[in-house]
Structure 1
Amino acid sequence: MNRLIRLGLMFGNLIPVTSPALVDRYNRALEHLTGKTTTLTDFHIDISGFSPEVGEELDDPLYLNENGCNRQFILLTTAQKTAPLLNASFSTSRHILRQFIETNEAQLFALTARDAVAGELLNSVFSVTNPARLNDIRKIEIEADTTTGLVRDAEKLGQLSDRFLGEEDGWFDDVLIGEMISMAKRTGDVTRNPVRLKQMVFEQENFWTAHFGGTYLFRSTPPTAITETAARLEGAGLGDVIEKRDTNRIARFLADNALVEPIIKARGIDGTAILRQKMDFIVVDAAHQADVDLTGATRRDIRRLARRHADDLPPEYHALRQLVAWAEDGARWPRISSDHPAYFYNLRASDHADADLVNMLLAELAPKDVRQLFICHKALFYRAYAGWSETKKSYVADMLAREYAVDKAGTRAALFGHEPGMEESPAPPPPPRDDMIARVGPWGAVRRERS
């Protein structure tokens, strides 16, 4: 993994903690949350304050995420909002933490100038060893305060102040006045500088969890769980349970709920260029399987290799090539059924609130597209990377550093962005070749039963 770290593709954008003051604040917060401390004098933290170096020192990669549930966090700076979330157990956790920081940024900036802010993402579930407990995760609340309880004391001072102003004999209550003065020494003037964090509640509808081999829960659609082994989740009250290998049922679920669209037809992107890049990644995977040296290979070299060994390439490559020929040259529309290995390579999430979750699922169903796998499902990418040959590792890492890391936002927009329709009048009728799509579905024929 050193190559990925060196190129900024792993542990990238982590926040360095190097000053003695910050290390001391971190230790106070860490002891406050877990009863543990670190002896390290410098380390890096993610958006939640988790440090891979501290995790290694404590021999506990879940020291801020016990049981993979109710993630705890330590904030030393509001700059953590741009950092990744490592060892995520739920796909929504990073979004929740970032939104909390951005909503309370001014208050958190003032608080972290003097102390660390420690807190927890709270739900009613403390362990998910029983899959039925996943159904109980409905909302997440954030509880946060400094290690000295400044937010709590400020709120109490505000209540005392209201009593002082509202009670008829408040001016003569020496005990009340003394308590206010004592507390104000710790909190400052809360009337001019209110120290209050907005209470935030996040509804949990659709999400991915690392539990049970990686499970996708969809509850805003007809309740559905897509998981590694259906038998483990059957009878847990999660709705229809689909195994990841049951591509026909997954395809039907995605199509019936309008969660995906074909790349070749998507508005605002160069669909054929994206498919050609996916073809290159499939060639790289085939070369890896055949022990072909890819050191220093360019995209031109990859396509030359594809032409030379076309007959030996897997069916995914040939199906995507036929789609490109249909789009560019008017060739015959290829019939790609949902059990064809190329089926999910021609899909991306449609424009809806859970696009990131659906693209994550698609990355898992089309793992030879290493770029989408890296962007949408990093944990799975890192596991796959560990088993690759050195030449494939080198090629993929260099490609991602060259074509993705230099412009992450631009690449994401080019691959997954959606543009609104520009027509002010009814759109013209589609060209004749789209009639085939209307008859068989934009993804090809989706089979209703497993073969």
Structure 2
Amino acid sequence: MKRLIERGLMFGNLIHVDSPALVERYNRALEHLTSKQTRLDDFHIDISGFSPEIGEELGDPLYLNHSGVNRQFILLSTRQKTAPLLDATFSTSRGILRQFIEANEAQLFALTAKDAVAGELLNSVFVLRSPADLFDIRRIRIEADTTSGTVRDAEKLGQMVDRFLNEEDAWFDDVLIADMIGVAQRTGDVTRNPVRLKQMEFEQRNFWTSHFGGTYLFRGLEHPAIITAGDWIDPAELPVKSSYRITDRSFIALFLQRNQLVEPIVRARGIDAGAILRQKMDFIIVDAAQDMGLDVSGASRGDLRKMARQQIHSQMPPEYHTLNRLVIWAEENGDWPEIDSDDPAYFYTLRARDHPDRDLINQLLAELSPKDVRQLFICHKTLFYQMYATWTETKKAYVADFLAREYKVDKAGARAALFGHEAPMDRASAPREDVIARVGPWGAVRGR
């Protein structure tokens, strides 16, 4: 993984904690949450305050995420909102933390100027014993305060101020006045500078979790389902009728189509479909070259395509040839390619439609088309790092160089180019789309 770390593709954009004051605040929060402390003088933290260095020191990579369910967090700065979430066990956790920080940014900025803010993403489930327990996770509530209880004290002071202003004899209540003065010395003037964090809850309907081998739960759809990369889950034990393994390609294709969750890349507006498909083909060449023991490190696009023509054309997998036929259709008015759900290239030809769960669907598609290493890295980093560890050194070098050169320099632009959405064209102005519309996404989905 050293190559990825050096290029900022792993542990990138973490917050460096190196001042004695910040280390001391972190330790207060860490002891408050876990009864532990670190002896490190400097370390890096993610959006939740998790530090890989401290995890190694403590021998506990889940020291802020016990049982992988209710994630705790430590905020030293609002700058953490742009940091990644390492070793995420739920796909929604980073988004929730970022929304919380942004909604309370002014308050958190003031609070973290003097202390760390510690908290937890709470739900009613503390341990996941079976997949059925996932359905008990419905809402996530955030609890947070400084280690000295500033928010709690501010709420208490606010209540005392209300009594002082509204109760007839409060002006003569020496105990109340003394208590107000004592709390105000810790919180400041809450009437001028309120110290209050918004009470936030987040509904959990569709999400991915790393539990049970990696599981996607879709219950907020017209046709709900659960999809797992682990052992098959008996739907008799679940409140949904449809349960699939990640290898059940035709059933998953039917699920995506029935819920109108995906669209063909060649139909998407505002993107260069041909360029995206050709890049996917290049990644497939790299994968085939790895299997044949060929060196692709430092190879250009021209080098890869020359290699495909001259050295490994007969060994190219079917995904390559299907995508090539699709490019010919899209760019050169070739024959319409018949692509059914059993075709290994089927999921390479799709992307999520514009809907609230598009990031989750693109993550699922990345898992179903793992040779597209760019989409895998962007949409499913957990799986990317697992697969990266199994690749040859030449493929590792090529992928790391490509991502550093063509993705890392403009992440937002790359995401927009791949997954951005524009308003659809007038149907009358796009007759070639009628072919796709009639069979959409590709038509031949075999539900078996």
TM-score scaled by structure 2? 0.97
1:284 equivalent in structure 2: 286
1:49 to 2:49 alignment: yes
Tell me if structure 2 keeps the 8 A contact 1:252–1:448. yes
Query: Structure 1 residue 419: deviation in Å?
Result: 0.9
For residue 253 of structure 1, give the secondary structure of its aligned residue in structure 2.
Answer: helix
String of CA shifts for 1:102-161, please: whole Å, max 9, x gaps. 000000000000000000000000011222110010000000000000000000000001
Q: How does 1:160-179 map to 2 (within 5 A)?
A: 160-179=160-179
Tell me if structure 2 keeps the 8 A contact 1:230–1:242. no
2:415 equivalent in structure 1: 412
String of CA shifts for 1:88-111, please: whole Å, max 9, x gaps. 010000000000000000000000
In 1, Cα distance between equivalents of 2:49 and 2:437: 50
2:73 equivalent in structure 1: 73
Tell me if structure 1 keeps the 8 A contact 2:137–2:204. yes
Tell me if structure 1 keeps the 8 A contact 2:116–2:146. yes
Tell me if structure 2 keeps the 8 A contact 1:347–1:443. no
1:394 to 2:385 alignment: no
In 2, Cα distance between equivalents of 1:159 and 1:369: 57
| Paired residue type of 1:235 | A
In 1, Cα distance between equivalents of 2:226 and 2:193: 47
Moved >6 Å (runs of 4+):
none
Tell me if structure 2 keeps the 8 A contact 1:223–1:238. no
Query: Structure 1 residue 48: deviation in Å?
Result: 0.1
1:244 equivalent in structure 2: 246
Query: Structure 1 residue 229: deviation in Å?
Result: 4.0
Tell me if structure 2 keeps the 8 A contact 1:47–1:97. yes
1:39 to 2:39 alignment: yes
In 2, Cα distance between equivalents of 1:310 and 1:238: 48
1:445 to 2:448 alignment: no
In 2, Cα distance between equivalents of 1:290 and 1:311: 12
| Paired residue type of 2:294 | V
1:143 to 2:143 alignment: yes
Give me the identity figure in percent.
69
2:353 equivalent in structure 1: 350
String of CA shifts for 1:11-70, please: whole Å, max 9, x gaps. 000000000000000000000000000000000000000000000000000000000011
2:194 equivalent in structure 1: 194
Query: Structure 1 residue 420: deviation in Å?
Result: 2.0
In 2, Cα distance between equivalents of 1:402 and 1:341: 28
In 1, Cα distance between equivalents of 2:193 and 2:103: 17
Structure 2 gap ranges (5+): none
For residue 217 of structure 2, give the secondary structure of its aligned residue in structure 1.
Answer: strand
Query: Structure 1 residue 356: deviation in Å?
Result: 0.2
1:213 to 2:216 alignment: no
1:373 to 2:376 alignment: yes
2:262 equivalent in structure 1: 260
Structure 1 gap ranges (5+): none
1:297 equivalent in structure 2: 299
In 2, Cα distance between equivalents of 1:2 and 1:78: 29
In 2, Cα distance between equivalents of 1:213 and 1:233: 15
| Paired residue type of 2:85 | L
2:235 equivalent in structure 1: 234
User: For the aligned residues, what is the CA RMSD?
Assistant: 1.1
Tell me if structure 1 keeps the 8 A contact 2:206–2:217. yes
For residue 397 of structure 2, give the secondary structure of its aligned residue in structure 1.
Answer: helix
Query: Structure 1 residue 235: deviation in Å?
Result: 3.0
Q: How does 1:318-357 map to 2 (within 5 A)?
A: 318-357=321-360
1:128 equivalent in structure 2: 128
String of CA shifts for 1:246-281, please: whole Å, max 9, x gaps. 000100010111100000111000001100000000
Query: Structure 1 residue 396: deviation in Å?
Result: 0.3
Tell me if structure 2 keeps the 8 A contact 1:154–1:195. yes
In 2, Cα distance between equivalents of 1:255 and 1:368: 23
In 1, Cα distance between equivalents of 2:239 and 2:285: 39
| Paired residue type of 1:88 | A
TM-score scaled by structure 1? 0.97
| Paired residue type of 1:336 | I
In 2, Cα distance between equivalents of 1:372 and 1:438: 25
In 2, Cα distance between equivalents of 1:448 and 1:30: 51
In 1, Cα distance between equivalents of 2:433 and 2:421: 20
Query: Structure 1 residue 232: deviation in Å?
Result: 3.5
In 2, Cα distance between equivalents of 1:280 and 1:392: 12
Query: Structure 1 residue 220: deviation in Å?
Result: 1.2
Query: Structure 1 residue 174: deviation in Å?
Result: 0.7
Query: Structure 1 residue 230: deviation in Å?
Result: 5.3
For residue 332 of structure 1, give the secondary structure of its aligned residue in structure 2.
Answer: coil
For residue 445 of structure 2, give the secondary structure of its aligned residue in structure 1.
Answer: coil
Tell me if structure 1 keeps the 8 A contact 2:232–2:244. no
| Paired residue type of 2:138 | R
Query: Structure 1 residue 348: deviation in Å?
Result: 0.3
Query: Structure 1 residue 237: deviation in Å?
Result: 1.9
| Paired residue type of 1:378 | K
| Paired residue type of 1:21 | A
| Paired residue type of 1:321 | N
Tell me if structure 2 keeps the 8 A contact 1:131–1:233. no
Tell me if structure 2 keeps the 8 A contact 1:346–1:443. no
In 1, Cα distance between equivalents of 2:252 and 2:50: 35
Tell me if structure 2 keeps the 8 A contact 1:279–1:317. yes
In 1, Cα distance between equivalents of 2:255 and 2:60: 38
2:101 equivalent in structure 1: 101
For residue 428 of structure 2, give the secondary structure of its aligned residue in structure 1.
Answer: coil
For residue 16 of structure 2, give the secondary structure of its aligned residue in structure 1.
Answer: strand
